[in-house]
């Protein structure tokens, strides 16, 4: 692998950021500091350790991130692998750079083994996105270089890191709109996670890919000539081979039949304006007949991660099915660099303008899903439940559907009208009696597709059906259905004469006087305690179990509120015994 030198990083920063002499000197200082701190350290491959932060910093510069990010990339392993502290980084550089280095250092400690502990790790990582996107972008570049050098590690580590890349980092790159990095990470991980499948596919691809390249080379001059007739000369037309792992996932859907893959090599047409995108579509459809149902307008309706483009599949010369992707230069940069493209410098921008635009990422619409996660993750008490739901709701392929008013709702693939209804509003979900998709009645378990217009038919005083739990796909819908069913059941139980015996389970931090305070809270509501017991064996926090007769749901809620206000009570659960 080619070794990166610091001059290449400075030149890339000058090209992308038009950075000042002072900013160039900052990059050089960060390099000298990292080089001295790492000293004679070697990587597992035997290469000097400094090669790694240099490679990461070059990728960060290529993304167009600011000089603070490039400096942080150069310094990102200093605190973890040397005696240097975050405080030393702040003293020598700035609070901002220290913050970024500290963020990456914390993410470096996160490993995913499929255990319950991973839930908390994933929370930390995703909440770091909401705090400052640059931390995760640096981490993604760090992971990319680590994957490029993965062969130097023992086989068991190779498999774990590659699987972690497929399950966490590649989907995260996709959610941030960095399509090229997402595909690259998947292709790097593929041979380590699925070695036999990868070898088979590489062998299968050799002949078809060369034939398709030759075919695309014939089409490009035809398209260019027609566009020039329409006075569209500032165009970039090229073929793009499908990423290997993406192809593998698509083949799994089509019984491994290569003849059903139409975008093995797609033709990309990049033009100057949105108007020209639609003009190109007209030219291509005038040349060749489009395949029905395979014109996708992601300009009018962008994907949830911000991707914009027009895709059309046509019957080309000799009837060969071919996909075209049409976009502007700006859309192409966004597709390649994702959310990083929105905060890159452009000519004439100052560092102050960058910071004003780029630091408060959590308020940006592109990261609504992270802010949604920040609220949603609090609902899960069991870590494994959070982890499984995260993989479904946030790391699965996404679709977008529309409300009758044209608002776009972002859902995981396979979502149903019930998932849609709860995403819009809890009351709409609870009262859902039917659904119309594109004007036609469908059952509530109908699978939604990209671009569907969904209209929920509501029935006043209706409650959710327990059967819905068998087909909803989103964790949010599932939690809301379970909560409403539980509340309905409790109201029905408490309506019986004489009330119900209820068992309260209080997880506590023990202290003197705690039992007395619990007893007083119960007595103040004129409720008798039938029994009280304490569990301490093998527990970090003791659990106090109290059985009390409760007359109605309102009395239960009032008692729970009083108990929650008692110092030392960390968590309260309950169940109705009779």
Flag whether pLDDT at 332 surpasses 60. yes
439: exposed, middle or buried (Cβ count in 10 Å: 0-12, 13-18, 19+): exposed
d(CA 388, CA 401): 24
Give per-residue pLDDT as tens, 173-193. 887 778 888 999 999 999 999
Q: For residue 44, what are the CA distances in angstroms to 56, 149, 166?
A: 17, 9, 22
Q: Give the gyration radius of the chain's Cα atoms.
A: 28
Please name the residues in contact with 256: beta carbons below 8 A apart, sequence gap of 6 or more: none
Alpha-carbon torsion 441, 447, 452, 454, what sign?
A: positive
Decide which of 169 and 395 is more confident: 169
Tokens of 26: 């900052």
Tokens of 490: 């409790």
- At residue 103, the pLDDT reads 82
Average pLDDT score, the chain: 82
Flag whether pLDDT at 296 surpasses 80. yes
β pairing state of 265-271 and 321-328: parallel
Give per-residue pLDDT as tens, 15-54. 888 888 999 999 999 999 999 999 888 888 888 999 999 9
Q: Given 11, 62, 81, 131, which residue is catalytic?
A: 81
- At residue 346, the pLDDT reads 35
- At residue 350, the pLDDT reads 37
pTM value surpassing 0.85? no
Tokens of 74: 């150069």
The yes-or-no answer on residue 452 being catalytic is: no
Q: Pick the range with the lowest mean pLDDT from 108-122, 134-148, 321-335.
A: 108-122
- At residue 358, the pLDDT reads 37
Q: Pick the range with the lowest mean pLDDT from 95-109, 149-163, 504-518.
A: 95-109
Phi–psi pair at 513, nearest 5 degrees: 90, 0
The yes-or-no answer on residue 80 being catalytic is: yes
Tokens of 236: 């970039």
DSSP assignment, residue 66?
-
Please name the residues in contact with 3: beta carbons below 8 A apart, sequence gap of 6 or more: 47, 51, 54
pLDDT band at 118 (very low <50, low <70, confident <90, very high): low
Q: Pick the range with the lowest mean pLDDT from 92-106, 167-181, 302-316, 554-568.
A: 167-181
Alpha-carbon torsion 373, 375, 378, 379, what sign?
A: negative
- At residue 341, the pLDDT reads 65
Q: Given 15, 25, 32, 80, which residue is catalytic?
A: 80
Q: Which domains does the chain have, with CATH numbers?
A: 6-193 (1.10.3210.10), 196-339 (3.30.460.10), 396-489 (3.10.20.30), 496-576 (3.30.70.260)
β pairing state of 440-442 and 289-297: unpaired
Task: Give 165-178 as a DSSP string.
Answer: IIIIIHHHHHHTT-
Give per-residue pLDDT as tens, 267-290. 999 999 999 999 999 999 999 999
Q: Which helix (H) or strand (E) holds 546?
A: strand 543-550
Give per-residue pLDDT as tens, 48-80. 999 999 999 999 998 888 899 999 999 999 988
Distance between first and last Cα of the chain? 70
- At residue 419, the pLDDT reads 95
pLDDT band at 496 (very low <50, low <70, confident <90, very high): low
Closest listed residue to residue 30, CA positions, set 80, 77, 81: 77
């Amino acid at each position: 692998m080619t070794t990166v030198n610091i001059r290449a990083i400075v030149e890339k920063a000058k090209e992308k950021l038009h950075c000042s002499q002072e900013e160039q000197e900052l990059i050089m200082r960060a390099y000298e500091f990292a080089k001295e701190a790492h000293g004679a350290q070697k990587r597992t491959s035997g290469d000097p350790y400094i090669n790694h932060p240099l490679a990461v910093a070059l990728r960060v510069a290529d993304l167009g991130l600011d000089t603070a990010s490039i400096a942080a990339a150069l310094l990102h392993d200093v605190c973890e692998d040397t005696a240097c502290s975050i405080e030393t980084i702040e003293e020598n550089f700035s609070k901002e750079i220290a913050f970024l280095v500290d963020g990456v250092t914390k993410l470096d400690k996160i490993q995913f083994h499929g255990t319950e502990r991973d839930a908390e790790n994933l929370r930390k990582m995703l909440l770091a996105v909401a705090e400052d996107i640059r931390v995760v972008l640096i981490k993604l570049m760090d992971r990319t270089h680590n994957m490029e050098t993965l062969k130097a590690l023992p086989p068991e580590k190779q498999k774990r890191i590659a699987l972690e890349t497929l399950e966490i980092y590649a989907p995260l790159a996709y959610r941030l709109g960095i399509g090229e990095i997402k595909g690259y990470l998947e292709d790097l991980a593929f041979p380590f996670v699925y070695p036999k499948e990868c070898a088979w596919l590489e062998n299968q691809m050799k002949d078809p890919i060369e034939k398709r390249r030759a075919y695309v080379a014939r089409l490009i001059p035809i398209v260019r000539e027609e566009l020039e007739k329409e006075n569209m000369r500032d165009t970039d037309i090229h073929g793009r081979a499908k990423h290997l792992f993406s192809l593998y996932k698509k083949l799994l859907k089509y019984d491994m039949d290569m003849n059903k893959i139409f975008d093995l090599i797609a033709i990309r047409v990049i033009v100057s304006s949105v108007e020209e995108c639609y003009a190109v579509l007209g030219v291509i459809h005038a040349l060749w007949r489009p395949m029905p149902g395979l014109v996708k307008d992601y300009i009018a309706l962008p994907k949830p991660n911000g991707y914009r483009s027009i895709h059309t599949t046509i019957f080309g010369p000799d009837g060969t099915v071919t996909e075209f992707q049409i976009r502007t230069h700006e859309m192409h940069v966004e597709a390649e660099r994702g959310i990083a493209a929105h905060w890159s410098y452009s000519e004439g921008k100052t560092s102050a303008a960058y910071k004003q635009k780029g630091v408060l990422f959590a308020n940006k619409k592109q990261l609504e899903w992270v802010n949604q996660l920040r609220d949603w993750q609090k609902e899960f008490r069991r870590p494994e439940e959070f982890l499984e739901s995260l993989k479904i709701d946030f790391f699965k392929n996404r679709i977008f559907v529309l409300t009758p008013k044209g608002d776009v709702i972002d859902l995981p693939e396979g979502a149903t009208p019930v998932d849609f209804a709860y995403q819009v509003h809890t009351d709409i979900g609870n009262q859902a009696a039917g659904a119309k998709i594109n004007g036609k009645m469908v059952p509530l378990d109908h699978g939604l597709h990209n671009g569907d217009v969904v209209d929920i038919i509501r029935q006043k005083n209706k409650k959710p059906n327990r059967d819905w739990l068998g087909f909803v796909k989103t964790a949010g819908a599932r939690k809301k259905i379970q909560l409403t069913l539980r509340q309905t059941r409790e109201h029905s139980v408490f309506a019986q004469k004489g009330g119900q015996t209820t068992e309260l389970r209080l997880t506590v931090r023990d202290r003197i006087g705690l039992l007395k305070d619990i007893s007083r809270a119960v007595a103040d509501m004129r409720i008798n305690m039938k029994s009280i017991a304490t569990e301490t064996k093998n527990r970090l926090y003791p659990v106090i179990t109290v059985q009390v007769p409760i007359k109605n749901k309102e009395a239960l809620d009032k008692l729970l509120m009083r108990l929650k206000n008692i110092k030392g009570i960390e968590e309260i659960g309950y169940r109705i015994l009779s």
